[in-house]
Amino acid sequence: MTSNVTPFRNIKHVSLLWADPERAAELAALHARLFSPAWDEASITSSLEHPAATSLVAVAGNPKVIVGFILGQLVADEAEILSIGVAPDWQRAGLGKMLVEGLARASKRGEAKRLFLDVAEDNAAALALYRKLGFSEVGRRQRYYVSSDGSAIDALMLALDL
């Protein structure tokens, strides 16, 4: 479901829910606003239906719309963030932090010891968020992403002890 109405921008009015595959189309629409190339509905559905999926959505407003998401996986004692995004009109309100901390809590309850992610080395907003939350660099994947102008960008591999 999509809405043109921006719910009151206060994270006190935001709830974190397990991501339901039934909301894959709404998630795909938000993903497409934030990433290029974006994940299509089928990819998001298969990520959410994966047995290892540990994914959350942040919802707000009435009716509730998805204003942020974090798609993760938990395998043995390692958790991974596959994708995270916050709707542009909700950014810098604390939602990204809320989503990462929510996934970290859920992963820890699932007995994960570390939370991993890959981030493009030029993604200043995401790097600032992860550094603030205590992630540290554990590796680099050379030329892992392709930017919109076709140039290659390294991925930094970050990890957080849970």
Ligand X SMILES: CC(C)(COP(=O)(O)OP(=O)(O)OC[C@H]1O[C@@H](n2cnc3c(N)ncnc32)[C@H](O)[C@@H]1OP(=O)(O)O)[C@@H](O)C(=O)NCCC(=O)NCCS
Sign of the CA dihedral 46, 48, 51, 55? positive
132 lies in the binding site for ligand X (CB under 6 A): yes
Contact residue for ligand X among 5, 22, 92, 142 (CB under 6 A): 92
Residue 87 near residue 33, CB atoms below 8 Å:
yes
What minimum distance in Å lies between the beta carbon of 133 and ligand X? 8
Tokens, residue 145: 């992403």
Please state the closest distance from residue 95 (CB atom) to ligand X, in A: 4
Cα–Cα distance between 101 and 95 in angstroms, integer? 10
131 near 141, Cβ under 8 Å?
Answer: no
Among 34, 38, 153, 162, binds ligand X (CB under 6 A): 34
Give the x-and-dash track for 107-126 against ligand X (CB under 6 A). ------------x---xxxx
Q: Which residue has tokens 């604390």?
A: 94
* DSSP codes of every residue in 52-87: TB--EEEEETTTTEEEEEEEEEEETTEEEEEEEEE-
| Cβ proximity to ligand X, 106 vs 130, nearer residue | 130
CA separation for the pair 75, 98 (Å, rounded): 22
The residue within the footprint of ligand X, chosen from 16, 66, 84, 104 (CB under 6 A), is 84
160 is a contact residue toward ligand X (CB under 6 A): no
Give the shortest CB-25-to-ligand X separation in angstroms.
Answer: 19
Binding site for ligand X (CB under 6 A): 34, 84-86, 91-97, 119, 123-126, 128-129, 132
